[in-house]
Structure 1
Amino acid sequence: MRSPVGEGRQRLLKALFDEFGENGPGPNLSMRQVAERLGVHHTLLTYHFGSRPGLLRAVLLEARRRDNVLIAATGDELGFAALCRAIWTFYSDPAHEDRTHAFFHLVGLAVYERDAFQELVVDIDGLANLLEAAALREGATAAEAGQRSLIATACLRGLLLQRLLTPTAEVDAAAERFIASLAASEGEKRAS
């Protein structure tokens, strides 16, 4: 008896992470090269993921889901600025550079083909939701929490993109300055 399609896809995702590690296959590998490494026919990958961008999207979504679980595990204990620092530390770690490259590659494709990447577009809000919850815990209104989350997410992503394009200590210093300004703002709100 054959397993349902979703189970086959999940088994392939597991095999992808087992073979390629937590970042999945690099964006430079073709579907045939990935299939060869997994010991499956490339048409099986095409059936479950559609295309190379579809494969990368599925791997990235699963990796981000796993990341969000790790970050969320500490998120309930952290304030807004500390959570921003944890997110920056996690994604600026060189061990996650391939995943960060894949993220921006797919976001670039999503800009041109939003409907084809709707699942990725929706998933992008995962970290924003964690940040919003941290802001709410600190007493922000729902509107303030949403705005703070949006600003922080956009700034951290922009800094990560800058770090990929021009990896200098200045980018890390700018991230630290941004996060320190959040902490200072939190301190001012508590004092008033």
Structure 2
Amino acid sequence: MGRRPQPHIKERLLDACADHALSHGLPDRLEPLATATGTSARMLIYHFGTRDALLRAVLGRARQRQLDTFGDLLRARPGEPYTATLHRAWKSITGPEGQPYLRMFGQLRESAEQQLWPDFRRTATTDWLGPLEDGLRGIGRPELATLVLGVIRGLLMDLDATGDTARTERAFRDFLGFLDTASTPPPTASSAATLST
């Protein structure tokens, strides 16, 4: 009678594989993951079935970590302007905490590894809309979520291509200034009359 799969071991292996992939990129062979987990390629196949199944599981675990971390950063906080929340999230996404995710998922978008997650590009876009809509609802502008996401994604692509942190940071701060203006309610007729007197 063969051994039964042990879920706690599989979870530990998956976490170690995700740690390695975030630090070094997603490998095209099992050996680097086996070395990182202190086991063998054969044992990884035993727990995950195939190489591609393991790599898909690694991507899924890394993506969940990213969603948990940055989803929390995008959550509105009582008493804090949402543009300040967005700026803190931007600093984290583009800083050391966010770089491993940008590298891994940038690699996934640009390579044949898309076959591991064929719907990744759509998912990687739409799964941020909910947290942004919730946050922007606090300033009465949830419909701006697509615009905010488009600016963030565009500036991340710019940063990846140029490495110009100062310029992209300045551009994002300028955008937040526009967003502050967009969230300011237009003056009422009575306040406009008062201003004109």
C-alpha spacing 1:28/1:12, structure 2 compared with 1 (3 Å): closer
Q: Which residue of 2 aligns with 1:65?
A: 67
The aligned length equals: 180
Q: Whose radius of gyration is greater, 1 or 2?
A: 2
Distance 1:100 1:68 in 2: 12
Q: TM-score, normalised by structure 2?
A: 0.71
| Cα-to-partner distance string for 1:107-147 (whole Å, 9 max, x where unaligned) | 3359964x83336743543332111012223223xxxx2x4
**Which residue in the other structure is 2:160 paired with?**
164
Match of 2:131 in 1: 130
Deviation digits for residues 5-56 of structure 1 (CA, Å, limit 9, x no counterpart): 6x55433233335x54xx7342164431121121122244456374375255
Q: Which residue of 1 aligns with 2:191?
A: none
Residues 1:151 and 2:150 are matched in the alignment = no
Q: 1:173 aligns with which of 170, 174, 193?
A: 170
Name the CA distance, whole Å, in 2 between partners of 1:111 and 1:42. 20
Matched residues in 2 for 1:130 and 1:184: separation?
Answer: 21
Higher relative contact order (CA 8 A, sep 6+): 1
Amino acid corresponding to residue 118 of structure 1 in structure 2:
D
- Aligned ranges for residues 17-166 of structure 1 at < 5 Å? 20=20, 24-27=22-25, 29=27, 30-46=29-45, 48=48, 50-51=51-52, 54=56, 56-72=58-74, 74-77=75-78, 78-109=80-111, 113=115, 116-118=117-119, 121-122=122-123, 124-140=125-141, 145=142, 147-166=143-162
> After the TM superposition, which parts of structure 1 deviate over 6 Å for at least 4 consecutive aligned residues?
none
Give percent identity, aligned residues only: 14
Structure 2 unmatched runs, 5+? 189-197
Q: Is the 2:31–2:41 contact (alpha carbons within 8 Å) kept by the matching residues of 1?
A: yes
Shift of 1:159: 0.6
SS of residue paired to 2:25: coil
